[in-house]
Amino acid sequence: MNQPTPDTAAALINDPTPARVSELLTQIDARLDQAYSNFDRLNRDRIDCKPGCSHCCHRVVPAQIPDVIRVAEHIRSTFTEDQLAELKQRLNDYERAVAPNFGRDLHKLRPTCPLLVNNLCSVYEARPIRCRGIFSADANACEQAKLHPESKAFPALAERQQIAFAAWTNLEEGIKKGAKSGGAYDFGRALKIAIENPEAVQEWLAGEDSFGEAFATPPVQESPPAPVRPGQPKYLPGTEPTGRFDIAGLALPQYIMSREGNFQKALDLAQGDHPGYWLWQIRLPMTYSSEAEVLEWRDYYRKAIDRFKERKWDPREAYDGLAAYCPQSLSYQQFNNREILEELGALTFKITSEALPDLTAPIEGKRREGKIRVGYISRSLRHSSCSPWGLGWLKNHGPEFETYAFHMGDVVDRTTEQFRQAADHFYHLPPGQPVPNQAQLIRSQDLDALIFLDVGVNTGTAQFDALRLARVQCAAWGGPETTGLPTMDYYLSSELMEDPTGDEEYSEKLIRLPGIGVCFLREKLRPSTLFKSDFGLGDEPLYLSTQPPLKLAPQWDELYRRINEATGQPISFIDRKRTASQKVWDRMERNGVKIRLLPLLNIHDYFGLIKLADVVLDSPGWNGGITTIQTLTMGTPVVTLPTELKRGRHSLAMLQASNAPGLVARDIDDYVDLVANVDRRRSVVANIDPNGLYEDMRPVRALEDFLKSVLT
């Protein structure tokens, strides 16, 4: 069933209502029951299920939102007030039981389903699709699965499950066609939202992600990939480059580096007879044990560049190898990297221009008459911190502009849809296709300007960065610093972020757009309503850092230690286990910083945590960006200490724009005092006005004026 049946699609596309969704689910149930009845008739002797047997109701049920809507409607129409009050209590208990997992590894939990009453399902007729698929030949095995979740899964009759799976897939296709948020949700948590906040149902039907906090995150890969050593093909003379480098051989080193934090071991494993391996060696650890280690690896980095330059390589193979290259690790060292990035930019351009001379040549001649054609390109035109802010520029261009959006990533979500709808022309060019063909398609649009929203952030984009795809090419602040690329003409930044000497940081010509430089679109933040105890916290003040450990450079440990001393409290950090974080926590503890680690959260629980915080500590050297805006929007103060380079001045700009300059520290002493001194903070917090961060049209108009000035 790859296509939704007409009734499924229609119910979710054409003016959907809760009643229509319920009706749809009833129809799906009727079809399921029909399919099951044949199976059950033939297998009566094999089935052990009976009323009162309920081991399988002690688990997290994966459900789709239409399922949840139907059960909520059923409850509203059949439960008495007393039953509803009891259900609400059970929903609260359920949330307390699953909350510490924050949407992860839910298959390992055995909470009692909030709809189970006296060992019977209280919504049996309306129970979710997944529950309808669960039937077992062995109730004892079910009981063992309930008692031993770590080692045993619930048994199931595969044939019945397949029928339920087909119905699920069909519904999922309908959800996708109806442009709604799909996927598997924690049924209990989603039902709690639907019962307590009926508005969320209407919002979901209108295309919003209103059940996000109940999303059931799929399990992450826990074991390293098997080592692979594919033979790398050598091109025959005259063979066209494919723009694809088989990076299978780098999966294990990548895992070792990012998950285990063992950078040297990763380098030792990433050896091969192909320029892709040699380019991969030009990288740095993601985290450091000390300031001395930072300098040691910086020295290694320079030598790795020299080694690559001394080798002989086929430019087409080297170009394919750029697929695995990314300079972002350099930015975490928090130095001015202009000189190194220019060297790397020249190298990337040499490789690209020798492999694809036609796609790197300047675009000569006058621009075509008519509207100014401006494109936006990123691997992340989706929910991310890299580029969604670019939507405000694109969406608000005046009638003299014709807009293009190029999404180069494989993930497509609601943010991608917003770009698709806002742009006059939208192209999805996912990885895996020959890059030269994709580049040719972009260049053939005859763009006047192309804005690269996040150069140097994602692996896989380097093959595009040194191409000449438009008359004027700009980098923007999704990339943390200068690109160093000779093909990038301008860097679009913010007047509030750049200090007077900012121009010296960039190989591009620096353009200071007004305010924070972007037109940040208003978004509805949906903090979940968890309590401090759900996060394992007590009632003491919460000093929170939300930035990834990669940004916590060793030279700032002293600052955090002094905050411990001044407040008498540990600092809470979020432990992203996938980013070599343990090295940072070990280092901090060695340096006397008292830390408390919180798990990685889904976005809504993350917002909920921020709301509970007394103060959020911005990471000096490389600040938060969108996270600072979101934190201030929720009324939680962010304390920052601006440093010299732009990436250490994001929050300075945002605090100025939100009428909270009093949270900008002058020096380390002042930072510590701002965190510890509640009275001092209180007066500033009362005046925070996040409106200044949103929908500022001045940067859009200034961007347009700038483009007109260089194009006409």
CB of 114 to ligand SF4, least distance (A): 7
Q: What is the 3-state secondary structure (H, E, C) of 473-515?
A: EEEECCCCCCCCCCCCCEEEEECCCCCCCHHHHCCCEEEEECC
Tell whether residue 190 is a contact of ligand SF4 (CB under 6 A).
no
Interacting span for ligand SF4 (CB under 6 A) from 52-60, 419-427, 548-556, 613-621: 52-60
Pick the closer one to ligand SF4 by CB: 188 or 515. 188
The least distance separating ligand SF4 from the CB of residue 50, rounded to whole angstroms, comes to 7
- How far apart are alpha carbons 583 and 287 in whole angstroms? 7
Closest C-alpha among 413, 414, 442, 410 to residue 426: 442
Q: What is the DSSP string of 307-354?
A: HHHHS---HHHHHHHGGG---HHHHTT-S--HHHHHHHHHHHHHHHHH
27-35, 111-119, 198-206, 555-563 -> range binding ligand SF4 (CB under 6 A): 111-119
Whether residue 276 contacts residue 319, with contact meaning beta carbons closer than 8 Å, is answered with no
Q: Does residue 194 belong to the site contacting ligand SF4 (CB under 6 A)?
A: no
Query: Which residues neighbour 365 within 8 Å (Cβ) at sequence distance 6 or greater?
Result: none
Question: What is the number of other CB atoms lying within 10 angstroms of the CB of residue 689?
Answer: 11
Rounded Cα–Cα distance for residues 117 and 449 (Å): 63
98 binds ligand SF4 (CB under 6 A): no
Interaction of residue 191 with ligand SF4, rule CB under 6 A: no
3-state secondary structure of 572: strand
How near is the Cβ of 655 to ligand SF4 at its closest, in Å? 47
Instruction: Report the residue number, 48 or 413, with the smaller CB distance to ligand SF4.
Output: 48
Q: Is 232 helix (H, G, I), strand (E, B) or coil?
A: coil
Residue ranges of alpha helices (H) inside 43-157 are 65-78, 81-98, 129-133, 139-147
Per-position DSSP letters for 631-693, written without gaps between them: HHHTT--EEB---SSGGGSHHHHHHHHTT-GGGB-SSHHHHHHHHH-HHHHHHHHTT--GGGG
Q: How many CB atoms lie within 10 A of CB 472?
A: 19
Could you tell me which stretch among 17-25, 125-133, 311-319, 395-403 binds ligand SF4 (CB under 6 A)?
125-133
Report which of 321, 428, 417, 341 is spatially closest to residue 378, judged by C-alpha positions: 428
Q: Kindly indicate which of the ranges 34-42, 74-82, 121-129, 340-348 contains the residues binding ligand SF4, using the contact rule CB under 6 A.
A: 121-129
Q: What is the SS3 assignment for 73?
A: helix
* Residue 97 in contact with ligand SF4, rule: CB under 6 A: no
User: Residue 186 corresponds to which amino acid?
Assistant: D
Binding piece for ligand SF4, criterion CB under 6 A, among 54-62, 394-402, 469-477, 568-576: 54-62
Looking at the Cβ atoms of 47 and 510, the one nearer to ligand SF4 is 47
Rank residues 161 and 656 by Cβ distance to ligand SF4 and give the closer one.
Answer: 161
Q: Say if CB 73 and CB 24 are below 8 A apart.
A: no
Tell me how far apart the alpha carbons of residues 521 and 391 are, in angstroms, rounded to a whole number: 8
CA pair distance 60, 43, nearest whole angstrom? 27
Q: Is 283 in the site for ligand SF4 (CB under 6 A)?
A: no
In the list 115, 457, 485, 559, the residue contacting ligand SF4 (rule: CB under 6 A) is 115
Segment lying near ligand SF4 (by CB under 6 A), choices 130-138, 206-214, 342-350, 592-600: 130-138
In the complex, minimum distance from the CB of residue 54 to ligand SF4, in angstroms, rounded to a whole number? 6
Closest approach, Cβ 38 to ligand SF4, in A, equals: 19
Tell whether residue 57 is a contact of ligand SF4 (CB under 6 A): yes
Closest CA to 36 of 123, 160, 149: 160
Q: Nearest distance from residue 528's CB to ligand SF4, in Å? A: 22
Where do we find the tokens 């300007």?
Answer: 449
Does position 192 interact with ligand SF4 (CB under 6 A)? The reply is no
Q: Could you tell me the smallest distance in angstroms from the CB atom of residue 171 to ligand SF4?
A: 17
- End-to-end CA, the chain: 54
Is residue 402 within 8 A of residue 424, CB to CB? The reply is yes
Distance in Å, CB of 203 to ligand SF4, minimum: 24
Among 9, 21, 61, 684, binds ligand SF4 (CB under 6 A): 61
Name which position in 74, 127, 468, 604 contacts ligand SF4 (CB under 6 A): 127
| Spatial distance between the Cα atoms of 408 and 103, rounded to a whole number of angstroms | 28
Residue 407: strand, helix, or coil: strand
**Between 122 and 636, CB nearer to ligand SF4:** 122
Does position 113 interact with ligand SF4 (CB under 6 A)? The reply is yes
> Under the criterion CB under 6 A, does residue 466 sit at the interface with ligand SF4?
no
Q: Which of 1, 53, 537, 566 binds ligand SF4 (CB under 6 A)?
A: 53
- The residue among 328, 298, 268 whose CA lies nearest residue 459 is 328
Nearer to ligand SF4, 68 or 544 (CB): 68
Q: Are strands 401-407 and 470-476 parallel, antiparallel or unpaired?
A: unpaired
Q: Which two tokens stand for residue 133?
A: 């698929």
How many angstroms separate the CA atoms of 61 and 112, rounded? 10
Tell me the number of residues near ligand SF4 by CB under 6 A. Answer: 20
* Span 131-150, contacts to ligand SF4 by CB under 6 A: 131, 134-136, 139, 142
* Site for ligand SF4 contains 109 (CB under 6 A): no
Rounded least distance, CB 125 to ligand SF4, Å: 10
- Evaluate whether 366 touches 510 at the Cβ level (below 8 Å): no
CB of 96 to ligand SF4, least distance (A): 17
The one segment of 124-132, 243-251, 388-396, 406-414 that binds ligand SF4 by CB under 6 A: 124-132
7 interacts with ligand SF4 by CB under 6 A: no
Shortest CB 184 distance to ligand SF4, Å: 14
Q: Which stretch binds ligand SF4 (CB under 6 A): 56-64, 91-99, 242-250, 542-550?
A: 56-64
- Sites for ligand SF4 among residues 616-675 (CB under 6 A): none
Question: Rounded to whole angstroms, what are the CA distances from 529 to 96, 610, 613?
Answer: 11, 11, 13
Name the minimum Å distance from CB 135 to ligand SF4. 6
**Which of residues 56, 68, 75, 381 is near ligand SF4 by CB under 6 A?**
56
Choose between 61 and 476: whose C-beta lies nearer to ligand SF4. 61
Smaller CB separation from ligand SF4, 115 or 660: 115
Quickly list H helices, 113-184.
Answer: 129-133, 139-147, 158-177
Name the residue nearer to ligand SF4 (CB basis): 127 or 259: 127
* Minimum CB distance to ligand SF4, residue 502 (Å): 58
Q: Is 515 left (phi over 0), alpha (psi -120 to 50) or beta?
A: left
Distance (Å, whole) CA 89 – CA 267: 54
Q: Does 55 bind ligand SF4 (CB under 6 A)?
A: yes
- CB 29 to ligand SF4: min, Å: 13
In the bound complex, what is the minimum distance in angstroms from residue 170's beta carbon to ligand SF4? 20
Q: Which residues bind ligand SF4 (CB under 6 A)?
A: 48-49, 53, 55-57, 61, 113, 115-116, 121, 123, 127-128, 131, 134-136, 139, 142
